[in-house]
Amino acid sequence: MADRLMIEVLDLWKSFGETKVLTGANLSVPEGSTCVILGTSGSGKTVLMKHIIGLLKPDRGQVIVDGEDIVPLGPEELTRVRRKFGMVFQGAALFDSMTVYENVSFLLREHTRASEEEMRAIVRKKLAILGLHDIENKYPAELSGGMRKRVGLARAIVLDPKIVLYDEPTTGLDPITTDYVDGMILDAKRELGVTSVVISHDVASAFKVGDTIGFLYQGRIVEQLPPAKLRQSNNPAVKLFLSTWFGKND
Amino acid sequence: MAQEAQPALSDKLGRAAASSIESIGRAVIRTLETLGGISELAWSVVRWTIRPPFRLQNLFVQLDFVGVGSIFIVLLTGVFSGMVFAHQSSRAFELFNAESLVGPTVALTLTRELAPVFSALMVTMRAVSAMCTELGTMRVTEQVDALETMAVNPVQYLLVPRVLAGLIMVPVLVMVFNTAGMAGAYLISVTIKGISAGTFISRTQQWLDPEDIAEGLIKGAVFGLAVTLIGCYKGYHASGGAKGVGQATTEAMVASAVAIFILDYLVGVMLH
């Protein structure tokens, strides 16, 4: 695996009113690797992810994506940078006025000149990879939570992006579907070579899919280590968080 | 005791006055912030309107929703407005044998005032409320964020077609209202009040100028632009789940209705 960094977050600060959410966060994600950001609910994981894709502007700090600092970029330049990303939202964020087919083919329609037949073939293939069949004409409201998430993932990877961001991909899923989604993240890395950032508070999934795990605490990444090393961490916040899982499972 | 009570009372009054001034100040700041936000959004809509890609399909969907979908309700309100106005004015004109003025009176009132104001109110209630709720729901369920992450500008994709639809279709609905209103007025004046059809039509032709119709159309365009901008702004910036979306829609409805009447006065003054 190359050591070139695909994503680098440097000294990132962000406040909403009086609330300080990020207080000097640092993160580095090498190309082709999967980094899981662990942290308690409300610790600012989603805020950090929204900075990585340029949905939020920091108060100060840098976000370097594929060698380019995206913080000073305007809307049009950000649009160009965002074509490198695919994002899977916590609640899937599917367009509820569109069918599954229209949702998954949305990016193809917007950014390619693919014909309707080509789009249909690509959408079928992506849905099939995720174990979804005969749902193209259904609306998101007709799908289960797990199916919506998988459709969200199919939409995110339809253009084979360089980077995929997953916002709590396994939250609210049953253990079998969770395992399935973990497998999908690993497959996306293995087969497409994508760089992934996964926001999660699911320790088991984090240790399964992560090449490195960053622990976000009080607005900063207090540790970013490979899973085995993170388990040996002496940081009290990390130890407390991991003990909630390993304490029960050791 | 009385001396102690005196300062306590003046203290309370002072605090109450300060608190009233503070809340008025806050309301003024909020209103100015909203106006600034709407102006910024309007500028953004202009910039993204003239920039490719031009999503004609989205525009036609909105033209259909705002315009074609509102025709029935505008026809209905137009007919009854014309009928009631003809009925009331003919009763007044009967007093000094000037029933021949019913046609022109209704025509001038409809084209200059009633048609643009009522059409814009109908569009506000029917279409802008739906726009605001839809955009608000999209915002709180991260669908707007999803668009941005997919390198699609949400202002261009979601707001431009809606605002253009308001700008284009409200004047069209104003003409529908005018036609329906005059038909209603004709029905009451000629078939019930016994005014001759020739008098009704010739007197209307004599008094009604193309400028009067143009004034109504200009007002319609201004109102259409204003109400869709307000609805889009409130929906696009909604937050706080279902309650936030409901609140945004209520605020959009109130602000749109107030804006229609304020703009009616301002545009009326500017055109004369």
Averaged pLDDT for residues A131-142 = 91
Query: A66 or B2, which is more confident?
Result: A66
Percent of chain B with pLDDT over 70: 97
**Residues B179 and B78: beta-carbon distance below 8 Å:** yes
**Which chain A residues have a beta carbon less than 8 Å from that of B153?**
75, 79
Q: Quick one: residue A139, left, alpha or beta (phi over 0 = left, psi -120 to 50 = alpha)?
A: beta
Averaged pLDDT for residues A108-115 = 90
**Residues A119 and A109: beta-carbon distance below 8 Å:** yes
**Which chain A residues have a beta carbon less than 8 Å from that of B146?**
87, 89, 93-95
Buried/exposed code over A73-111 (b: 16+ C-beta within 10 A; e: otherwise): beeeebbebbebbbbbbbbbbbbbeebbbbbbbbbbebe
**Omega before residue B53 within 30° of 0, cis:** yes
Chain B's closest residue to A158, CA to CA, is B150
Say whether pLDDT at A223 is over 60: yes
Task: Give B196-227 pLDDT, tens digit per residue.
Answer: 999 999 999 999 999 999 999 999 999 999 99
Q: How is chain A split into domains, by residue range?
A: 1-84+196-250
Chain A's closest residue to B51, CA to CA, is A76
pLDDT at A41: 80
pLDDT at B3: 56
Given an 8 Å threshold on Cβ–Cβ distance, is B143 in contact with A93?
A: yes
* Residue A162 per-residue DSSP state: S
Name the residue facing A89 among B137, B146, B152 (closest C-beta): B146
Bridge pairing between strands A220-225 and A212-217: antiparallel
Name the residue facing B149 among A80, A85, A91 (closest C-beta): A85
Averaged pLDDT for residues A88-104 = 92
pLDDT at B17: 85
A240 in reach of chain B (CB within 8 A):
no
pLDDT at B4: 58
Given an 8 Å threshold on Cβ–Cβ distance, is B148 in contact with A110?
A: no
Name the B residues in 219-248 with CB < 8 Å from any A CB.
none
How far apart (Å, rounded) are the C-alpha atoms in residues B246 and B228?
A: 17
**Which chain B residues have a beta carbon less than 8 Å from that of A83?**
151
Would you state the CATH architecture of domain A1-84+196-250?
3-Layer(aba) Sandwich (3.40)
Given an 8 Å threshold on Cβ–Cβ distance, is A95 in contact with B143?
A: yes
Averaged pLDDT for residues B150-165 = 94
How far A190 CA sits from the closest chain B CA (Å)? 23
**Residues A171 and A90: beta-carbon distance below 8 Å:** yes
Bridge pairing between strands A212-217 and A34-38: parallel
How far B147 CA sits from the closest chain A CA (Å)? 9
**Which chain B residues have a beta carbon less than 8 Å from that of A165?**
149
Question: For residue B122, which of B75, B74, B163 has the smallest C-alpha distance?
Answer: B74
Name the residue facing B142 among A85, A89, A165 (closest C-beta): A89
Chain A's closest residue to B157, CA to CA, is A110
B146 in reach of chain A (CB within 8 A):
yes
Best residue in A56, A57, A89, A148 to probe B by mutation, most B CBs within 10 Å?
A89
pLDDT at A1: 46
What is the token pair recorded at B7?
Answer: 């300062």
pLDDT at A137: 94
What single string gives the DSSP state of each residue in B144-168?
HHHHHHTT--HIIIIIHHHHHHHHH
Please name the residue that has the structure tokens 């074609």.
B68
Name the residue facing A83 among B137, B146, B151 (closest C-beta): B151
Say whether pLDDT at A44 is over 80: yes
Task: Give A168-196 pLDDT, tens digit per residue.
Answer: 888 777 788 788 788 888 887 887 788 99
B152 in reach of chain A (CB within 8 A):
yes
Q: How many CA atoms lie within 13 A of B108 on its CB side?
A: 12
**Residues B226 and B233: beta-carbon distance below 8 Å:** no
Given an 8 Å threshold on Cβ–Cβ distance, is A90 in contact with B153?
A: no
Say whether pLDDT at A2 is over 60: no
Contacts of B91 (CB under 8 A, 6+ apart): none
How far apart (Å, rounded) are the C-alpha atoms in residues B187 and B194?
A: 10
Burial class (CB in 10 A: 0-12, 13-18, 19+), B223: buried
How far A54 CA sits from the closest chain B CA (Å)? 8
Name the B residues in 102-141 with CB < 8 Å from any A CB.
134, 137-138, 141
Task: Give B83-127 pLDDT, tens digit per residue.
Answer: 999 999 998 988 888 888 999 999 999 999 999 999 999 999 999
pLDDT at B5: 59
Averaged pLDDT for residues A29-39 = 93
* Residue A5 per-residue DSSP state: E
Given an 8 Å threshold on Cβ–Cβ distance, is A50 in contact with B145?
A: yes
pLDDT at B78: 96
Task: Give B169-202 pLDDT, tens digit per residue.
Answer: 999 999 999 999 999 999 999 999 999 999 999 9
What is the token pair recorded at B159?
Answer: 């707001």
How far A247 CA sits from the closest chain B CA (Å)? 35
How far apart (Å, rounded) are the C-alpha atoms in residues A53 and A75?
A: 12
Q: What is the ipTM of this complex?
A: 0.81
A207 in reach of chain B (CB within 8 A):
no
Given an 8 Å threshold on Cβ–Cβ distance, is A82 in contact with B149?
A: yes
pLDDT at A192: 77
Averaged pLDDT for residues B11-27 = 87
Task: Tell me the one-letter amino acid at B154.
Answer: P
**Residues A188 and A164: beta-carbon distance below 8 Å:** yes
A75 in reach of chain B (CB within 8 A):
yes
Say whether pLDDT at B63 is over 70: yes
Query: B70 or B13, which is more confident?
Result: B70
